[in-house]
Chain A
Amino acid sequence: MSNNWTLGKTAVVAALTGLSALGTMIIRVPIPVTNGYFNIGDVFVVLAGLWLGPVPGLIVGLVGPTVADAVGFPQFILATAIIKGLEGFVVGLIGRHRGIGVGRRVIAASVGGFIIVAGYFLFEAYIYPYLGSYVPFFKVTDIGGAIVEVPANIAQAVIAVAGGVALWRPLAGSARPDE
């Protein structure tokens, strides 16, 4: 752990992780065919990336939504951990620097949104069916189901981008917890 990682930063990362888990759990809209669900937990993953940088974004994305998936949808834990972790990391990597405009933050958040859509499609269309041929636990989706879920994932990504940037803006002027 680097020396400039303060206690305040840890506390904020833990709070965003908890909020991300709750955001994923509270508004869940089940999607037919794949048995997955639509949620708003990504808002906090994007916020963590934009506000705190790639490593906090990775932690929030990796832990928060994964904890939520453990309640009722355990088959998606693997996909969620990888996709949401990557989402937070990439958003933080592109949008972390101070002084860059809102436009670049929106681009960073949009790349995160693209990772959600592409990542879940990849997992549901190819990786899960492949794993399912060895472990029945993962046999929950196929390419048809993955295609059906794309519009819901796009809506989820749009909400994540809009919500994440909207929550980041009031925080942009304030000091970061590691400063």
Chain B
Amino acid sequence: MNKKYQLHVAKVKPVWLRFLILVIIGLPPITGWPLTLFATAKDPLHNLFMWLSYGCFIWLFILLNTGFKKLLSYLSFAFLLALITCLVGAGIRNLIGFIQGASRQDMTLVSIRMLSLFICMVSVIPYSLFFINCFSVSSFISRLDFSTVKNHRTKIHLALALRVFQHVGDVTISLLDVWREENPKMISPRFSDELWESRLSPLAWLNWMRNSAVTWCLAMIMHTFEAIPYLTEEMKNIINFRENR
């Protein structure tokens, strides 16, 4: 990306100004304002268009700050979550509507509602990830003043908690690539010729979904916990270094 157009919100100082800028940009998903001023109850498509515009703005904002690669990793995670939520949600709502004999108009409203939720999620999740990554835990730790005895322990524990929390976020985003590499037969079309025939039954699809979810969850737990001894040791070393200096 042309560096001429690059933004550097993550480098804005002081930190409270950076926080303020990010909060102002995130106001619509957090409070609904100012999009609710233009929302109309009669025209759900109009509201949908407003959220879509906001989503495009957020993506552009993240793109200008982080570049394509980071934006794509945020988006892959956001789309995964949003697709699961909205497809299952739409399925359940339509099933209930079908059983209750809902009108075609009601069904359309359900679809629009799910679409709104989808757009909201694919806007808010990349924004949340970007927000977290705008604050470097490493630099926070390096700036901590351990010289005073007061609140010494609390500061150390808080810094470590933030470090681990950010690590969980990093693991989850990168896990999508790891999972795809390790399970090519489960998702990649070039491996799936012989599998597609056996997947015609709905039970086979359910089994595939269950296996995918279990593999993903286990990998997430293992990758999260395996780094804990290193992160704890790293923090101990920082403390020792500061105290002996």
Task: Tell me which of B57-65, B117-125, B141-149, B190-198 binds A.
Answer: B117-125
Q: Note all chain A residues with C-beta closer than 8 A to B228.
A: 8, 11-12, 15
With known contacts A71-B125, A74-B30, A30–B89 Cβ distance under 8 A: yes
Q: Note all chain B residues with C-beta closer than 8 A to A71.
A: 121, 124-125, 128
B220 touches A15 (CB 8 A): no
Q: How far is the CA of A18 from the CA of B93 in the complex (A)?
A: 30
Interface size of A in residues (CB-CB distance below 8 Å): 30
Give, as a whole number of angstroms, the nearest-CB distance from B15 to chain A.
20
Q: How far is the CA of A72 from the CA of B78 in the complex (A)?
A: 12
With known contacts A1-B157, A7-B232, A11-B160, A30–B93 Cβ distance under 8 A: yes
**By CB atoms of chain A within 10 A, which of B30, B125, B172 has the most?**
B172
B161 touches A10 (CB 8 A): yes
Asked if B205 CB lies within 8 Å of chain A CBs, one says no
Q: Which residues of A, 3-35, contact B by the 8 Å Cβ criterion?
A: 5, 7-8, 10-15, 17-19, 21-23, 25-32
A29 touches B236 (CB 8 A): no
- Secondary structure of the A side of the interface? helix
Give, as a whole number of angstroms, the nearest-CB distance from A46 to chain B.
14
A19 touches B92 (CB 8 A): no
Asked if A37 CB lies within 8 Å of chain B CBs, one says yes
Contact partner, A7, options B84, B89, B213, B235, Cβ 8 Å: B235
Determine the residue in chain B with the shortest Cβ distance to A23.
B217
Q: How far is the CA of A57 from the CA of B114 in the complex (A)?
A: 33
Task: Tell me which of B4-12, B162-170, B178-186 binds A.
Answer: B162-170
Asked if B72 CB lies within 8 Å of chain A CBs, one says no
Determine the residue in chain B with the shortest Cβ distance to A44.
B221
A72 touches B121 (CB 8 A): yes
